[in-house]
């Protein structure tokens, strides 16, 4: 019979108990996530008494903390714009998942993701019904569930090296966003931490490492917050209290370090005057394109009004006029009447117009979402036409249509599938080379960067928010702010209904229009001809941070195996 590890004590689960005395028994070192323990002396009177190891937050606390994490993250984004809430939300989720089982961490992550994305994406159900909103929110929450599971899994790493908690939190968030930005069906990068930082100093970090570096900084700050507040620091004593204050001060420093990053137009070149025409639609909703002629007429008339103001000396002569996505849902290359109307507007304003148009073809049941440069007196320049490279799945095309129809026959409301373009949106308008992206494409790092490396001096986002609301429009404008700083380019967003406006290379918004109204805004912009560090390094900061995340997950597996081995080596009751 084996010798009892602690005579005169009751032994169970690796713990010796007698009255209030508790001793955890282990041989072979520290068990990750628990207090250092030693073998129990055979003489009960000499047995060391240790405090019970700290565990995860009680479930009754962790569940509300996870829900609160999502809601706190929500208010960091437009239309609320409380950017400082983002690291707090990160900290709440990290605390809720720490030291939990992986499945429990996944569940808590899912709750946080649902609390964030259900209200953040509420605009998707305004005119399309509940199903797209529910499915999209659930799919995004599922990826945040993986983040919660990973946070629980890497707990041994954090417990062994407490100083690593902020960095671990940062790389896990970057990895989560990298996955959401790519899968499924090309991903959906909405709700990235970087897109909540429009008014924060952290936005300036985009000039060094793009959106991934901004996300990393915000998540590191959140990791510092949870490291400062985690329960073991409350043990007391001046030394421990200072150990809690240090991470809190560091969190403030991380959020402020962006002030040291210089931002502005990269290179700096000539100036041009650009006008944005927001023609508005007869009514919001999916049937806005049933009023296709009225929408086209609105944009033509607004441009003619602009031309009259220019002729009267009330506005400067524009070098370029930008119309939004869906300004002409009548194919102007096939409809002579539509093409003639656009030509009249271009001739009147004496400037090329970048027209957002829906084109029929190239095949039956297909269409294209395009930006066409329409030159005064010359008509459409098909050599300077951009076709949207990332059509929105289930909105602009339906993947696996037969399977999707079994889920909902609503997919047949998408009558034609938009065909993706195959080259970056670099449009030479003469006075300026434009980097054009259409609508949701602004959320994708590579699609915007390709235009800058292709020679774009000015970034243009053509969008149609008529099927959504002002919250969606402002969330999209926040993405334009990140891109402007990231690439050192003056930028603009042109919307059918709002919000349209200009964004400086420092991220500041100018001349923002109202929502659901007709407006024309114009501004002189300085063109960029250089490249920021973020433009030069491209995807590599994200790759490096994701690689570190993978290494941390693998390291946690090693520590977990060692812990399992230590537990198997415990002396058990014979």
Based on the domain organization, do 117 and 142 belong to the same domain?
yes
Phi, psi of 244 (to 5 degrees): -80, -35
In whole angstroms, give the CA distance from residue 261 to residue 43: 63
Is 7 inside any structural domain? no
**Which of these is catalytic: 34, 325, 396, 441?**
325
Which of 203, 235, 262 is at the close of a domain? 262
**Cα 554–558–559 angle (5° rounding)?**
115
Q: Do 103 and 193 share a structural domain?
A: yes
User: According to the model, what pLDDT value does residue 394 have?
Assistant: 79
234 pLDDT higher than 60: no
Across residues 368-385, what is the average pLDDT? 97
Question: Is residue 415 over pLDDT 80?
Answer: no
Largest CA distance in the chain: 105
pLDDT at 193 over 90: yes
- What percentage of the chain has pLDDT greater than the value 70? 83
pLDDT at 487 over 90: yes
User: Which residue's structure tokens are 């402020």?
Assistant: 256
Residues 177, 388, 486, 542: which is the catalytic one? 388
Burial of 159 (0-12, 13-18, 19+ CB in 10 A): buried
pLDDT for residue 395:
80
Q: Is residue 513 part of a domain?
A: yes
In a domain, 128, yes or no: yes
- Same domain? For 227 and 302 the reply is no
**Per-residue pLDDT for 289 more than 70?**
no
Please write the tens of the pLDDT for every residue from 89-126: 999 999 999 999 999 999 999 999 999 999 999 998 76
Least confident of 144-148, 261-265, 280-284, 425-429: 280-284
User: Is the domain of 304 the same as that of 214?
Assistant: no
The helix-helix angle for 85-97 and 130-153 (nearest 10°) equals 60
* 109: exposed, middle or buried (Cβ count in 10 Å: 0-12, 13-18, 19+): buried
- How confident is the model at residue 564, as a pLDDT? 79
Let me know if residue 407 belongs to a domain. Answer: no
- Predicted confidence at residue 306, as pLDDT, reads 98
Question: Is residue 255 domain-shared with residue 348, that is, in the same domain?
Answer: no
pLDDT of 260 > 80? The answer is yes
348 and 445 housed in the same domain: yes
DSSP state of 26: -
Last residue in a domain, options 262, 292, 326: 262
Residues 344 and 442 placed together within one structural domain of the fold: yes
Same domain, 228 and 337: no
Asked, for residue 20, whether it belongs to a domain, the answer is: no
The CB density around residue 173, as the number of other CB atoms within 10 Å, is 29
- 131-150: pLDDT as tens digits: 889 989 999 999 999 999 99
325 is catalytic: yes
Number of domains in the chain: 2
Q: Is residue 43 included in any domain, yes or no? A: no
Q: Are residues 367 and 512 in the same domain?
A: yes
Q: Tell me the chain's radius of gyration from C-alpha atoms.
A: 28
Task: Name the residue among 259, 281, 263, 226 with its Cα closest to residue 91.
Answer: 226
**pLDDT tens readout for residues 514-554:** 999 999 999 999 999 999 999 999 999 999 999 999 999 99
Q: Tokens 């941070």 belong to which residue?
A: 545
The answer to whether the CB of 545 falls within 8 A of the CB of 216 is yes
Which residue, of 233, 262, 291, is where some domain finishes? 262
Instruction: For residue 363, tell me if it sits in a domain.
Output: yes
CATH code for the domain of 395: 3.60.110.10
Q: What is the pLDDT confidence band of residue 284, given thresholds at 50, 70 and 90?
A: low
Distance CA 486, CA 501 (A): 18
**Sheet bearing 509-510, strands edge to edge:** 426-428, 433-438, 458-463, 491-495, 501-503, 509-510
Average pLDDT over residues 258-284: 92
pLDDT for res 238:
56
Task: Report which of 33, 48, 92 is spatially closest to residue 232, judged by C-alpha positions.
Answer: 33
Residue 257's closest CA among 228, 233, 221, 223? 221
Residues contacting residue 396 through CB under 8 Å, at least 6 positions apart:
369, 388, 414, 417, 418
Q: Which of 16, 439, 441, 542 is catalytic?
A: 439
Is 381 in the same domain as 421? yes
Question: Per the domain annotation, does 560 fall within a domain?
Answer: no
- Say yes or no: 106 and 246 in one domain: yes
The DSSP call for residue 234 is: G
Q: Are residues 74 and 216 in the same domain?
A: yes
The whole domain housing 447 covers: 270-400+415-530
Q: What is the mean pLDDT of residues 382-395?
A: 93
């Amino acid at each position: 019979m084996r010798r009892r590890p602690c005579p005169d004590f009751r032994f169970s689960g690796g713990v010796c108990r007698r009255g209030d005395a508790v001793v955890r028994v282990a041989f072979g070192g520290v068990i990750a996530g628990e207090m250092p323990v030693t073998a129990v002396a055979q003489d009960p009177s000499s047995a060391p008494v240790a405090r019970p190891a700290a565990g995860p937050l009680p479930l009754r606390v962790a569940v509300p903390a996870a829900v609160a994490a999502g809601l706190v993250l929500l208010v960091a984004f437009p239309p609320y714009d409380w950017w400082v809430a983002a690291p707090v939300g990160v900290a709440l989720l990290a605390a809720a998942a720490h030291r939990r089982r992986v499945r429990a961490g996944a569940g808590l992550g899912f709750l946080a993701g649902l609390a964030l994305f259900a209200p953040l994406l509420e605009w998707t159900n305004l005119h399309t019904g509940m199903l797209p909103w529910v499915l999209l929110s659930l799919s995004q929450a599922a990826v945040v569930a993986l983040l919660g599971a990973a946070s629980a899994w890497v707990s041994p790493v954090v417990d062994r090296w407490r100083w690593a908690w902020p960095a671990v939190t940062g790389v896990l968030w970057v990895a989560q966003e990298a996955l959401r930005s790519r899968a499924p069906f090309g991903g959906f990068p909405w709700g990235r931490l970087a897109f909540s930082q429009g008014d924060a100093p952290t936005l300036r970090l985009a000039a060094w490492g793009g959106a991934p570096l901004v996300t990393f900084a915000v998540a590191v700050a959140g990791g510092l917050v949870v490291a400062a507040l985690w329960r073991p620091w409350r043990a007391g004593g001046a030394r421990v209290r200072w150990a809690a204050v240090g991470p809190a001060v560091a969190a403030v420093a991380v959020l402020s370090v962006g002030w040291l990053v210089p931002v502005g137009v990269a290179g700096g070149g000539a100036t041009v005057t650009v006008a944005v025409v927001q023609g508005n639609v007869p009514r919001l909703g999916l049937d806005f394109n049933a009023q296709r002629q009225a929408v086209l007429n609105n944009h033509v008339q607004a441009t003619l009004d602009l031309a009259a103001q220019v002729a009267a000396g009330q506005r400067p002569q524009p070098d370029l006029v930008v119309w939004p996505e869906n300004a002409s849902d009548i194919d102007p290359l096939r409809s002579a009447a539509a093409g003639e109307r656009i030509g009249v507007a271009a001739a009147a304003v004496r400037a090329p117009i970048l027209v957002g148009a829906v084109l029929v073809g190239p095949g039956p049941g297909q269409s294209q979402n395009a930006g066409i440069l329409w030159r005064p007196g010359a008509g459409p320049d098909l050599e300077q036409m951009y076709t949207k490279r990332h059509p929105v799945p289930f909105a602009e095309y339906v993947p696996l249509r037969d399977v999707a129809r079994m889920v909902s026959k609503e997919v047949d409301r998408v009558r034609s599938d938009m065909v993706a373009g195959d080259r970056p949106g670099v449009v030479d308008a003469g006075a300026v080379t434009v980097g054009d992206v259409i609508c949701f494409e602004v959320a994708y790092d590579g699609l915007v960067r390709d235009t800058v490396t292709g020679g774009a001096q000015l970034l243009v986002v053509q969008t149609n928010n008529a099927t959504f609301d002002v919250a969606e429009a402002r969330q999209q404008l926040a993405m334009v702010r990140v891109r402007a700083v990231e690439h050192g380019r003056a930028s603009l967003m042109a919307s059918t209904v709002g919000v349209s406006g200009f964004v400086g290379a420092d991220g500041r918004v100018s001349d923002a229009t109202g929502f659901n109204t007709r407006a024309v805004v114009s501004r002189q912009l300085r063109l960029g001809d250089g490249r920021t560090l973020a433009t030069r390094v491209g995807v590599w900061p994200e790759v490096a941070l994701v690689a570190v995340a993978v290494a941390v997950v693998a390291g946690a597996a090693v520590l977990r195996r060692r812990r399992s081995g230590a537990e198997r080596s415990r002396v058990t009751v014979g």
